[in-house]
Structure 1
Amino acid sequence: MGAGDEGGEDVMAMAGSAADELYTLRDSFFPADILEKDSKLKSLADSALQILDAVPEAKRTSPLQRASFEYLRGKILDVFPVYRKEAEDHLSKAVKLNPSLSDAWLCLGNCIWKKGDLASARNCFSLGLSKAPNKKILCQLSMLERKLAQGNGHTLQLKTFDSISKILRTKLKVWKKAFGLPKERSPWMLRMEILGVNCLGNACLTSFFVNGVPDYNRLFQSIKAYQNAANKYLQNYQRALTGFEAAALKDPGLNAFEEVRKIVNVLDKIEDAMKVQFRKKNKDPPSSLFAEVSKSSSQGRATIKTLAEGQNKSVALTGRVLHFLKHDDAPPLYYIVCDSEQNCFVLSIYGLHSNALKEGDWVTLLEPYHQSVDFSWKNKHYGFSSIRVDFMGQLLVNGKAPSAHLAVQSMIQAQHKPS
């Protein structure tokens, strides 16, 4: 393979990453002024299309290459909340060129859903699932089935009970199997992660309503599925572990033991990293450096020991990032941070690209949400302080707000860097 071939593949990969970053912004950036979000989406979409257009013509010739190219263009164009025919046209070309491209079927279904053609959208999702298992498609399909089960005014159509119940019984089995799929890496925030759990919750909730008679067992299953997902997201680790273990014992097919393993794996890594940093903390810089950095915030200064449980209004905590914690689960990102009194805590962040925060950076946490983790599981004790960041407005990196499109900017710079 020549250098030109490798370059073309690199640009296509960069375009794919740029498209992913675009969707990260869509799902994680919620400014007070909606026009600010629209402006950033347009700017990033233009940048992503600029990268895609740089793919050499020689890398767009075969049907598979052309399908990938059309898919990315349609995906980028479809990031906006309103339907765009241009996006549908490109995505339709992609699935015609490569019917096995399940992600293109997902995007096409979402695009068609926007124009109100729910039956065609469901057909796209079903075709995508027939090509390959895909948790994102399962989640979209679960929501679409629930919407299709409703008539005008959000009342259920009695004549559809039998057919819908049959569909749901089939899909409940499929969604349970989805727990065994590999976890799809994505920097999305606030999706409750655990996509299979949400699919099952949606399915059970819909089944409760469409069966024609109250099925409280289904309703309780739905509540439990959402509850387990919420506990994991909110980092109520003990409740999440207990809930997933109970689910696994009742139905081994849910593969909930895998969720238990991932949570325990993260907790073990946190404990090990905290012990290492405790031994090294006397090497940390003096508090005077922290005072200089914390001037970027007008709020009262705090340390991890002065924070109350929950949200701490009108205060800011400044710390230095000591360690990035790598793990095999989905977001959040975990860091070990040291405050001005050289006390370490765990910082978990949703919706931030991993490139935006590095070891050695200074962070200022505005109105931090503090949790004290203190419990035992399987004869092992876990105890540490934790701060969770859900929204980028709560975070300053080296005195500045992190850029939501940092990764896209770096890719554009790399593309135009002289060889």
Structure 2
Amino acid sequence: MAEKEESGEAGKDKTELQIIKELVDELYNFRDCYFETHSVEEAGRKDDNVKRKMGQALKKLEEKEDSLKHKSEFLLQKGRCLNVSPDFSAAAEECLSRAVKLDPTLVEAWNILGDQYWKKGDLIASKNCFTGALQQEKNKVSLRNLSMVLRQLPAANSDEHGKRVLESVDLAREAVQLDVSDGTSWCILGNAFLSLFFTCGQNPQFSQQALNAYAKSAADRIASSMPDLHFNRANLFHYEEMFGCALEGYSRAAELDPNWGEPPEKEKQLLEYLEKVTELIHNKGKVKTRRLRTMLSNLNTSALGPCSFPQFRSPSGRVGSLEPRSLSSLTHGHNAGVAALGKVVFSLATQGRMAFTFGMVDSEETCIVVMVYNTADTWGVLISDSVVIPEPNVKRHSITHKDKSYDFKSIRVDSPLLLIVNGKKQNVQSQIPISVSNQYHQKPKEAD
């Protein structure tokens, strides 16, 4: 008889716990699919609406707390309910810690406890939770969260950081393989490849893999509403000089979370940069005609320096002297075997710049903008300096964003070491690899 009563009580608990789980599931669905039931104009109220919904759910959970507070599943659902907020919750930490003590096999409780430690700033404890969950069961949430935490842990040196980034890519890739339809996992894989790109020599293959993963994520109905996705992808678009896509990404991130200040600031900075660049190209850096002609009068092939030597090795690996060409004769893309030669007429210092930017004018008085990446803060060129760009990579930009249009050509230079300035190669100290930070908007920032 006692056994029957115990069995019946267990069945009752299961029913109540199932109702509680469905209640918390509904809360997460409300948060994650918010824009399926609300317009983007209501984005600014999302956090408040989610908190209000969380409060309603908590009230219903607390009605059952006296009879269920010693059940690990109840503690999991209460901790999960509290975890819907982007902020650390001591109550959530307590619930989840008790849940895993009662049942160490509760993978979801380990994962959410790891989230709480992350929000608290205890990355070691967070990592231990995700590792512990994976010891119980291989699952996509632990894999992708561990991928993120590994990139945030402080490293003793660049080699250690590089190894962690490589491991984080493997973990994120494994998470995707467990569920190729999960857009959040694709987003984390994109971030991992972005970190790998900037950590391991800026291999274009890694950049493309990041963009491919972000595209998969953006096609997912839940992940496409995450402002972090659009912001991080926009940063990569910006670096790749896909300025129109970058502006759209910053704008979309700002729409999805109007309370987050960084996306609109980045959008504003990039618009100001494009405005200034097009203006300076148009008026040749505002250099007066007489001064410009004086500057150009002493521009000759002697400025080619080592580029004129038969043994000169070009960035492409080609050996041999380069033929100087006018800017107007350069073709779109890589110009093999030739060099662009001109005088600096302006340089541009901008907030949050990706590249050191300057304009140069050739002997035909054609002006073009040059964007040099991975420069040390102390490196630069001065007005009237002679600059030679071996085998220039020419791009055409045609951008329209929010009723503003920009149209200009540029030359991309991936390192100052590729330039010849006043007849001389640049020293190694002129180069410092650029870094771009991923953002996890509801968790600490991930720096590369």
Greater relative contact order (Cα < 8 A, sep 6+) = 1
Q: Bigger radius of gyration, 1 or 2?
A: 2
TM-score (norm 1): 0.47
